[in-house]
Amino acid sequence: MSDFVKIAVDAMGGDNSPNKIIEGIIHNHKKNKNVFFKIFGIKDKIEEIIDKKIDKNFYEIIHTENFVLSSDSPLEAAKKGKNTSMWLAIESVKKKNADIVISAGNTGALLVIAKLNLNMIQNIDKPALSALWPNKNGMSVVLDLGANIDCSSKNLFDFSIMGAALYTSLYPNEKPNIGLLNIGSEELKGNETIKETFQILNEKKSNNYNFAGYIEGNQIMDGDINVIISDGFTGNIALKTAEGTANFIVRELKKTMSNSIFGKLSAFLNFSNLNKFKKRLDPRLYNGAIFLGLDSPVVKSHGGTDFIGFSNSLDVCNKIVKGNLIEKIKRNI
């Protein structure tokens, strides 16, 4: 078991849990046999789903009947105490019984409980919420996506270092290009914090990444920039806009292709290309946001995803541990 990646799983977080969580684990296990799952939640419900589908050498169930609700405020979640599935899962990482923790539960609660249990990496002031974002060449890392509304230039510089470390953990053979999300590409554009961060990144050369300057919102999908840096307010709006646009395109395309006999014929003739297009925009492929800045890795799965999306976020967990993300951040800082 020493060679296994040990993932602590909050089985009770998100919609349709623990069903979709355990189904996601089963699906992931079929293609990946080097992971051991520490599963926190209601034992009877979990055993009903997992029984005989995975060998017991690959998982352990830690029983608790208490869990954080999606409607709980972060304060209410913390007040529920130390025996919720979310708290216990995070605590197992703190105690080094697991390498990484994942939850599809309440985002605010996950961040607060993680900060109560885990230390910040030295010289990092604020954690950032980071996620993968599709572009025409592959994937970009984008942060912050909502953990911090107000950020200083030092915070944005720290995000750059952490984002670059995350990218190289996921893609070890690539050196990322970093860009600052801004309202223009000229040096004079943007607020004072953005301009200060530009100067810092321009002056502090690094072997771990290339600083490519500013990037505008309409260039995010171009694929030239691998790590995109923003404060949480701007990043969250950009994320929700992109998600909404992708959903709108897929929805309207479906409507167009099913409204008439010609649309249905066209859809039939172009089935393969349309299927590829649909898969490219499938949010389940990019499931798994990461809280960066804590001294142990914490992954947030989308609460509304299905078992396929949760399985994909387990792949992200595996890559983060194998890529030594935390050690890379500490070394780069």
Confidence class of residue 241 from pLDDT cuts 50, 70 and 90? confident
DSSP 8-state class, residue 187: T
Q: Which of 124, 135, 134, 206 is nearest to 164 (CA)?
A: 206
pLDDT at 71 over 60: yes
pLDDT tens-digit readout, 298-322: 999 988 889 999 999 999 999 999 9
Mean pLDDT of the chain: 88
CA distance 288 to 311: 10
Q: What's the pLDDT at 313?
A: 94
The answer, yes or no, to whether residue 278 has pLDDT greater than 80, is no
Cβ atoms of residues 293 and 85 within 8 Å: no
Domain pair 1-124+293-333 / 131-285, same fold:
yes
CATH class of this structure's domain 1-124+293-333:
alpha beta
Instruction: Give pLDDT, residue 274.
Output: 56
pLDDT reading at 276 higher than 90: no
The answer, yes or no, to whether residue 272 has pLDDT greater than 70, is no
CA within 13 Å, CB half, 45: 17
Token duo for residue 139 = 């994937």
Report whether pLDDT(30) > 90: yes
Identity at 96, one-letter amino acid code:
K
Q: Phi/psi of residue 273, each to 5°? A: -65, -40
**Closest C-alpha among 315, 294, 125, 147 to residue 235:** 147
286 has a pLDDT exceeding 80: no
* pLDDT of the residue at 266: 64
106-162: per-residue pLDDT in tens? Answer: 999 999 999 999 999 999 999 999 988 888 888 899 998 888 889 999 999 999 999
Taking 70 as the threshold, does the pLDDT of residue 271 lie above it? no
For residue 333, name the pLDDT band (cuts at 50, 70, 90): confident
d(CA 22, CA 20): 6
If 0-12 CB within 10 Å is exposed, 13-18 middle and 19+ buried, where does residue 38 land? Answer: buried
Work out the average pLDDT over 13-32: 94
Q: How much is the pLDDT for 135?
A: 85
Strands 298-300 and 100-103, bridge-based pairing? parallel
Tokens of 65: 């009947």
HEC sequence for 214-273: EECHHHHHHCCCCEEECCHHHHHHHHHHHHHHHHHHHHHHHHHHHCCHHHHHHHHHCHHH
Residue-wise pLDDT for 16-25, tens only, equals 999 999 999 9
| Position with higher pLDDT, 79 vs 86 | 86
**Other CB atoms closer than 10 Å to residue 62's CB: what's the count?**
18
Q: Which CATH class is domain 131-285?
A: alpha beta
| Tens of pLDDT, residues 37-68 | 999 999 999 999 998 899 999 999 999 999 99
**pLDDT given at position 310:** 94
In this predicted structure, the answer to whether residue 175 has a pLDDT above a threshold of 70 is yes
Identify whether the C-beta of residue 249 lies closer than 8 Å to the C-beta of residue 216.
no
**3-class SS at 327?**
helix
pLDDT average, residue stretch 83-105? 96
Lowest-confidence region among 61-70, 136-145, 179-188, 261-270? 261-270
Exposed (0-12), middle (13-18) or buried (19+): which is 213, by Cβ within 10 Å?
middle
The sheet carrying 128-135 orders its strands as 59-63, 35-41, 5-10, 100-103, 298-300, 289-292, 128-135, 138-143, 227-229, 177-181, 210-215
260 CB-contact burial (10 Å; exposed 0-12 / middle 13-18 / buried 19+): exposed
**Residue-range domain boundaries for the chain:** 1-124+293-333, 131-285
pLDDT of amino acid 229:
96
Number of CB atoms found within 10 A of residue 233's CB: 14
Q: Residue 168 and residue 163: Cα distance in Å, rounded?
A: 9
pLDDT band at residue 172 under the 50/70/90 scheme: confident
pLDDT band at residue 262 using 50, 70 and 90 as cut-offs: low
Q: Which of residues 113 and 276 earns the better pLDDT score?
A: 113
Return the pLDDT at 186: 76
The region of weakest confidence among 77-91, 213-227, 277-291 is 277-291
DSSP state of 54: S
pLDDT at 288: 81
Residue 15 has what DSSP assignment? T
Burial tier of 70 (Cβ tally within 10 Å: 0-12, 13-18, 19+) = middle
